């Protein structure tokens, strides 16, 4: 039963990585930039929920909704203030450095407001645990909700991109911003909506992560954000199903690495796999080679 327990835990952790990676892959696929502040939006979502539940005594559902709203607005503000003015910068390094600066800004604001001490996060998920095989295998409510949320979000995002006008506009902008603008698509609004969706997903991921691992610090989102980026690259950055598959694989790999190899080496194994994937298939599992005509 221990193998099944580790597998389920890996899928649960991988679902969190997948939700974060979906935000990464959408922003990169459409805006062609890496938002390295994405991991810190996860932390903001966790702290908003923590403040609403522990500090203000609000119901968990209201707290999660407020976290999603705050992170959505934050994502749009970050895009409009920090990234949009640099979209046509001569060097892509300008946007990358700005993203790192925004990340440190959010971390230090959290330090000023909440301090460096670890906060005990109260789970907002009240789903009862599922007991199988006469109680030998117990699946927590947090695990059930996390896995179902990851699957549901991937399906909804895929349908949104394929079936709605906004989704089609996102596809057009990802192909060619200039041509999309000539066709009457508001590129700035489309990219802003993309950041809003990605940041909302980060808030949900933050709540799920802190509910499963009930601790919260200003640096909570840093490592999950980096690992989710690895998952997006592994699955094929720009691909929604690829991000989901990459996240699940990474979560399983991390849990199995901790259980069967070494808890200290688990992160090293994750990044070693990334190196192997980039060497063998640089575009990732579902990524496509794009040939540019000159």
Q: Quick: pLDDT tens for 226-271.
A: 888 888 888 887 788 888 999 999 999 999 988 888 888 888 888 8
- Average pLDDT of the residues in 269-284: 82
User: pLDDT band at 278, cuts 50/70/90?
Assistant: confident
Close Cβ partners of 166 (under 8 Å, ≥ 6 residues apart): 160, 190, 193
Q: Please say if the pLDDT value at position 89 is more than 80.
A: no
- Average pLDDT of the residues in 155-179: 90
**What is the structure's pLDDT at 268?**
87
Q: Please say if the pLDDT value at position 48 is more than 50.
A: yes
Model confidence over 190-220: pLDDT tens digits?
999 999 999 999 999 999 999 998 889 999 9
Q: Please say if the pLDDT value at position 293 is more than 60.
A: no
Retrieve residue 283's tokens: 């575009």
- Backbone angles phi and psi of 132, in degrees to 5: -120, 160
Q: How far apart are CA 22 and CA 200, in angstroms?
A: 11
**What is the structure's pLDDT at 1?**
61
**What is the structure's pLDDT at 137?**
82
**What is the structure's pLDDT at 263?**
81
Contact 244, 22 (CB under 8 A): yes
Domains of the chain plus CATH, in order, are 2-280 (1.10.3470)
pTM: 0.91
Residue 64's nearest CA partner among 145, 176, 169, 167 is 145
Q: Please say if the pLDDT value at position 27 is more than 70.
A: yes
């Amino acid at each position: 039963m221990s193998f099944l327990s580790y597998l389920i835990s890996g899928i649960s952790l991988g679902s969190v990585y997948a939700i974060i990676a979906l935000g990464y892959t959408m922003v990169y696929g459409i805006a062609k930039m890496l938002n390295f502040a994405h991991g810190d939006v996860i932390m903001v979502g966790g702290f908003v929920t923590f403040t609403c539940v522990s500090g203000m005594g609000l119901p968990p559902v209201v707290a999660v909704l407020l976290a999603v709203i705050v992170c959505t607005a934050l994502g749009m503000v970050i895009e409009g203030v920090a990234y949009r003015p640099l979209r046509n910068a001569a060097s892509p390094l300008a946007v990358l450095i700005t993203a790192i600066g925004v990340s440190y800004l959010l971390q230090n604001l959290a330090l000023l407001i909440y301090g460096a001490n670890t906060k005990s996060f109260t789970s907002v998920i009240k789903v009862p645990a599922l007991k199988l095989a006469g109680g030998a295998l117990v699946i927590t409510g947090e695990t059930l909700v996390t896995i179902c949320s990851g699957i549901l979000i991937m399906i909804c995002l895929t349908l949104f991109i394929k079936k709605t006008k906004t989704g089609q506009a996102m596809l057009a902008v990802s192909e060619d911003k200039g041509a999309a603008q000539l066709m009457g698509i508001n590129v700035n609004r489309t990219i802003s909506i993309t950041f809003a969706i990605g940041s909302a997903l980060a808030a949900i991921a933050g709540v799920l992560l802190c509910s499963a691992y009930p601790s919260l610090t200003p640096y909570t989102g840093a490592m999950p954000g980096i690992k989710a980026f690895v998952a997006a690259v592994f699955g094929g950055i720009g691909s929604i199903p690829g991000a989901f598959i990459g996240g699940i694989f990474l979560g399983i790999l991390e849990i199995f690495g901790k259980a069967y190899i070494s808890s200290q080496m688990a992160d090293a194994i994750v990044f070693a796999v990334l190196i192997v994937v980039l060497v063998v298939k640089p575009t990732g599992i579902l990524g496509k080679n794009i040939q540019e005509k000159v």
